Structure 1
Amino acid sequence: MANDIPQRSYSAPCPGCGAPVTFLHAQSTHAVCAYCQSTVVRNGAVLRRLGKMAELFDDHSPLQLQASGIWDGQAFTLIGRLQYRGSNGTWTEWEALLADGSLATLGEDNGSYVFSRPGAAQQALPAAGTLRVGQRVELSGTAYSVASRDQTALIAAAGELPHLPPLGQAFEMVELRSADGEVLSIDHGRQPPLVARGRAVRLEDLQLRGLREAIAKEERARQFACPQCGAPVQVSLASSKTVTCPQCHAVIDLSAGTGGELRHALQDEPLRPLIALGSIGRLQGVDWQVVGFQHRLGRDPEDPDESFGWSEYLLYHAKRGFSFLVDAQDGWSMVAPTTGAPQLSGDGRSASYLGSRYELRERYQAETDYVAGEFYWPVRRGDKTSNSDFAKGRTLLSMERTAHEITWSSGGQLDSATVAQAFKLEGRKDLFQRSDAAPLSAAAGLSRTTIILVVLLVLVIVLVARCDGCDPQRENCSSSGSSYSSRSSGASYGGYTSGGGHK
C-alpha cells in the first residue's frame, strides 16, 4: 500500500546525541530521539533539548511507529506514541498522520482500539470534578453516560508529538459514551480542555502494514523470584499488572514493575481451572489463549447470606485483545466490554443497546475470591463491584460499577459441547455440562410427562448433592446449605473493563 501523505519532512540533529530527529507534520512541536531518549522541542529550524524521556513500558502491542494503514477512507501513518497511567493501569495513544495532513489518535488499551479526532465543543463543558460516574450528560445534542473519571499522568513517549503534557503530572480525564457507540473524551490537562470524539475499530479492518509481529516473536518473557516463596515466576504478557505464583499461589502486583519491591497476597485452597492456563481454543473463528482465571462470588444485597459462585477465564488474542469465557451454574457464555453505553430505563428494569431491548435478570454484589495466571488490570482478592445483568434470549448484557468507572459487557451463551470441543477436551465434555441442558429442539420427541419427570429427578439429585457439603466459596451454590440459589446465565459476563475510548 502506497503512503501518499502529502507532507514534507524536516530533519535536524538531536541536541543530545547528534542523531537525526525527523518531523513529518508541520504542527508537531515535540519529539523524542529514538537513540538517546532526549525530549526535544522544535523552534523553527532549531531543536532544543528539554531533558530525557522515560523509556516506554513494553506492552507487546502489535503496533509500532511508522506502521501504516487506512482509516475512514484515508491512508495514515503512526508517528508518535504516548503512554499514560491511571488507577486501573497503563494505556497507549498513537498519533496518526492522515493523508489530508490532519492528525487523529488511535487509542489502545489491552487490545481495544478507538480512532478519534479532536473537535471543538459547541457548548460550555462541565467543569473538572463536577461529573460523576453514571451521570447522564447531553453535549451538542447527543446524550452520553459518564463511563469513567480518573486522574491520569503521562509516563513515557516516543516519536513525533504535536503536544507533550508534563511527565508524571496528574490531570483529570473524563470519558463519555453514547448509546450508538461514540466515545467522547475530555482532557482537563489542557486549557481549554481538549475534546475528542471517536469510535471503536478492529486492527483487521485497518489494512495495517509494518506491524511488529516479527519483533514480538523474538521477545522473551520476564522472570523474577516470587517475593513469598522464592520460586521462579514468569510473565508472558508484558501488559500484565497481576500474576500469580505457580508454587505458592500468591497474588503478585506488577503495576510498579518487576525491578522493585513486589507486593503480594497469599491465597488459600487453590482451585484447579477446568481449562488449563495456556490452553488455546478456537471460538467464534478466533484462536484464543487462556491467560488468566478468577473465581467470583455473588450476593444479593437484600439477602447477604445467600451467595453463588462462578468462574471467568481471561482470553487473549494478539489482534482481538481480551475477552472473557464465563462458566456459570446455568451455562457458558463469551463476552467482551462494549464501546458504547447502553441506555437504562428510568426504573432500571431494562436496558437498550444497538436497537435491542434487554430485560433485567438480577442485581447483586460481586467479589473476587481467587485468581490464577495473568491479568491486565491490578486484580486483588476482595475486589468488589455492583452488577446488573440483562438478557434477551441467548444474548447477554451486563453492567459493572466501581467508584471510578462503569463498564458494560455484551456477548452470548455458548453450548457446553462447543466449549469442550474448542479446547480439544471432548473426552471430558461431561465436566462442561451445566444446568442449561440441551436445546429445546432436542426434547421434541419426548412427551410432556417424561420431560417433567426428568426435570424433577434432576432437581432432586441437585438438591441432595448440594445439601451434602456444597461450598459456596468454591461452587455455584447457596451458602445457606439446603436452599437452591439460581444464577442468571453468564454471571457478570466478563465484566472488567478493557478500556477503549480515549485510552
Structure 2
Amino acid sequence: MAADAPQRHYRAPCPSCGAPVEFRSAAAPYAVCGYCRSTVVRSGEQLRRIGRMAELFDDHSPLQLMASGRIALDGKDQPFTLIGRLQYQSEAGVWAEWIAALQDGRTATLGEDNGAYVFTQPDAAAHPPAGLPPDLPRQPAGGTVTLDGQPWVVAFSGRAQLLAAEGELPKLPALGQPFELVELRSEDGQVLSIDYGHAPPAIERGRAVQLQDLQLTGLKDESTREDQGGRSFACPHCGAPVTVQLDSSKSCTCPSCHSLIDLSAGIGGELKAVEQSVHSTPLIPLGASGELEGVRWQVVGYQRRIGHEPGDDERFAWSEYLLYHRERGFAFLVDAEDGWSLVRTATGAPKIDKDHRRARYLGATYTLQSSYEATTTEVLGEFYWPVQAGQKTDNRDYISGNNLLSTESGAGEVTTSVGSKISAQTVAEAFGLATAQEQFERQEVGPFVASKGVGCMTIIVIIIFFIVIASIMDSCSGSSGYSRSSGGSFGGYSSGGSHK
C-alpha cells in the first residue's frame, strides 16, 4: 500500500477452511478466500460463507493484488492500492475490473481490457442522471443519448456476466448470471458505465489512463512469471501442432494449413476451424519486434482487408498488423496505398455531425475522407477477438492534418480508433528492415511529385488531363464528392478500450 495511505486491517478465519481472510477496506463487505476460493461476507466480527468462486484465468496482466499507485482525483493526488479483481464476459469480449482502495476510504475501479485501462468512481450523483431512458439497455450501439444536458454515444449495450473474482469486493454480482450493461462515451474521452444488475442501476464515471502515469509499484515481475511456453494443441483441420502465445487470444491460424481457428470456447472446448486461402505475405514477419513511438512492440497478428464505397464498383485493399506490448496492450500498424499509420482504440467517442461530414474528438476536428464497407479476407497469427474471414464492418475514416480517426460498426458494438501517419522509413527501420525500405514505400498524399524517369512532356500531358477533368466536374451542378483516403479502418474491429 502507498506509504501515506491509512493502515486499516480486519482479519478473520475463513468459515470453510480456516485460513485467514483479510479486509483492508471498510467499503468492501465481500472477499474471496485465497486458499479454498470460498466467497465470504463480513457480518460484524464474523465471516459467513455464501458460495465458492470459480478459478480466475491467467490473462498475463502486469497488475496484481496489493500493487499500489497514485492518481489525481478532484484536484488531489490520491494514493490507492489494488485489493480485489472481478473478471467479466460479454458478447464483446472478456475484461477485468480491479478494485482500488483510496486513501480517503472510498473505492474506485481500474478497468483493464486488452491492455487498455479506465479509472472510474461511483457517480457522485445520488440519483440516476436526468434523462436516463428506461429502454437504454435496448438502444443500439452507435446511438446517442443526452444525460444531464451532456451528449453521449452508446458504445456498448448488451448482457454481461461475472466469471471469477479474488480479493476484497465492494460488490458481488451473481456468478454466471447475466445482467444488462450499457457503456456510454463522450467526445472529451469520458466513460459512463451503467450496470442494470442493481436497482437502481449502478453508475460509474471515469476516463482512460496509462499505467506509466499511475506511478504503480508492486507489479508482476515478468522475469519471474512462470512461462508456460504457450498453449499447444493439434489443428482440428490438418492435425499439425499449433501454439498460442497470448492467453487473451480468441482466434489464431494454423501455421501449416492457414485454417482460421476459433478459440473463444477455450482450448479445452470445441475448436472450430475454417479453411482460408492466403495469397499475401506480410512484409513484417509475425513475431518480429520493433520500436515505434518509444515502445517496443511485437507483431502477433496480420489481416488483409478489402473495402468498397456504396455505389462504387472499385475495391481497395490494405493490411493491418496487430502489435502487442505487455503494459501498453494492443495497437494497429496499418499499411495502405497512401502510406502507413499507427493507431490505437480510443476510450471516448467522437461527436459526429448529422451528415457525418465532420467529427470532433478531444478538441480536434476531423473531416470525413471515406465511408465504406470493410471485409476481412485473410488472417494470420493471433487476435484478441474472434476474427473471421468474411467478417464485415461499416467504416468511416476522418482526417485532421497528419492525424486520423476511424469509426467502425460491427458485432453490436461501435469502436473508435485514433492515430497518425508515419513514414515508410520509420516503419522499415523500426523492425530492422531498412535494407528493404523500397518495399515499404507507398503513394504519398499531397502535391503531385513526378516519379523517377517521367519526362517533361509526360508531366504536361498529365497536367492538361487533370485540368480537363476539373473543368468537367466543375460544370456538374450539385456535386459535392470527396476524396477517399484508403488508409483502411485505422485499426479494425476491436472489443477493447472499455472497462466493461
Counterpart of 2:252 (choices 243, 247, 262) is 243
CA distance in 2, matches of 1:84, 1:19: 27
User: 2:98 matched to 1:94?
Assistant: yes
Match of 1:333 in 2: 341
Could you tell me which residue of structure 2 aligns to residue 317 of structure 1?
A: 325
1:219 CA displacement? 2.2
Distance in 2 of aligned mates of 1:249 and 1:342 = 37
Q: Secondary structure at the match of 1:218?
A: coil
Q: Following TM superposition, by how much is the alpha carbon of 1:369 offset from its aligned partner in structure 2, in angstroms?
A: 1.1
1:477 is aligned to: none
Name the SS for the 1:152 alignment partner: strand
Does residue 194 of structure 2 align to residue 186 of structure 1? yes
Pair 1:110 & 2:114 matched = yes
Normalising by the residue count of structure 1, what TM-score does the alignment of the two structures yield?
Answer: 0.89
Q: Hey, what's the Cα distance between the residues in 2 that align with 1:11 and 1:234?
A: 43
Alignment of 1:36-185 (within 5 A): 36-72=36-72, 73-119=77-123, 120=125, 121-123=128-130, 125-128=132-135, 129-185=137-193
Deviations 1:398-423 (A, max 9, x none): 11012521111111111111111111
Quick one: structure 1 residues 39 and 452, their matched pair in 2 at CA, closer, same or farther if it must change by over 3 Å? farther
Find the counterpart in structure 1 of residue 473 from structure 2.
Answer: none
Q: Any runs of at least 4 consecutive aligned residues in structure 1 with deviations exceeding 6 A, and if so which?
A: none
* Identity across the alignment (%): 56
Q: Counterpart amino acid of 2:132?
A: L
Shift of 1:90: 0.5
State the partner residue of 2:283. Answer: 274
- TM-score with structure 2 setting the length: 0.89
Distance 1:336 1:90, change over 3 A: same
Structure 2 equivalent of residue 453 of structure 1: 459
Alignment partners' CA distance in 1, 2:288 and 2:138: 46
Q: Contact conserved, 1:110 with 1:239, CA < 8 A, in 2?
A: yes
Distance verdict in 2 for CA 1:352–1:18, change over 3 Å: same
The answer (yes or no) to whether the contact 2:307–2:374 under 8 Å persists in 1 is: yes
Match of 1:488 in 2: 485
- Give secondary structure in 1 for the equivalent of 2:315: strand
Q: 1:147 to 1:451 in 2, by over 3 A?
A: farther
Of 256, 263, 286, the residue aligned with 2:265 is: 256
Structure-2 change in CA distance of 1:372 and 1:454 (3 Å): farther
Query: Matched residue of 1:213: which SS?
Result: coil
Equivalent residue for 1:287?
A: 296
- Call closer, same or farther: CA 1:422–1:14 in 2, change over 3 Å: same
Matched residue type, 2:381: G
Q: Is the 8 A contact 1:7 1:25 kept in 2?
A: no
- Residue 399 of structure 1 contacts residue 495 of structure 1 at CA under 8 Å; is this kept in 2? no
User: How far 1:148 moved relative to its partner?
Assistant: 1.2
In angstroms, what is the RMSD of aligned CA positions? 2.3
Q: 8 Å contact 2:28–2:170 — kept in the other structure?
A: yes
Contact 1:62 1:216 in 2 (8 A): no
CA-to-partner distance for each residue in 1:10-39, whole Å, 9 max, x for gaps?
Answer: 111112221111111113121111111111
| Cα separation, 2, equivalents of 1:308 and 1:34 | 54
The Cα of 1:313 is off from its aligned counterpart by: 0.2
The DSSP-based 3-state class of the residue aligned with 1:417 is helix
Which of 476, 496, 499 is residue 499 of structure 1 equivalent to? 496
Structure 1 match to 2:305? 296
1:12 equivalent in alignment to 2:12: yes
Per-residue deviation at 1:62? 0.3
**Alignment pair present for 1:423 and 2:442:** no
Alignment length (residue pairs): 471
What is the CA–CA distance in structure 2 between the aligned matches of 1:454 and 1:379, rounded to whole Å?
A: 48
Assess if the C-alpha contact under 8 Å between 2:131 and 2:146 holds in 1.
no
CA 1:204/1:60 → structure 2, altered by over 3 Å: closer, same or farther?
same
Q: CA deviation at 1:498?
A: 4.5
Q: Which amino acid aligns with 1:78?
A: L
Shift of 1:501: 3.4
Unaligned runs of 5+ in 2: 466-482
- Secondary structure of 1:306's counterpart equals coil
Structure 1, unaligned stretches of length 5 or more?
460-485
Report deviation, 1:443: 6.3
Deviation at 1:5, TM superposition (A): 2.4
SS at match of 1:418: helix
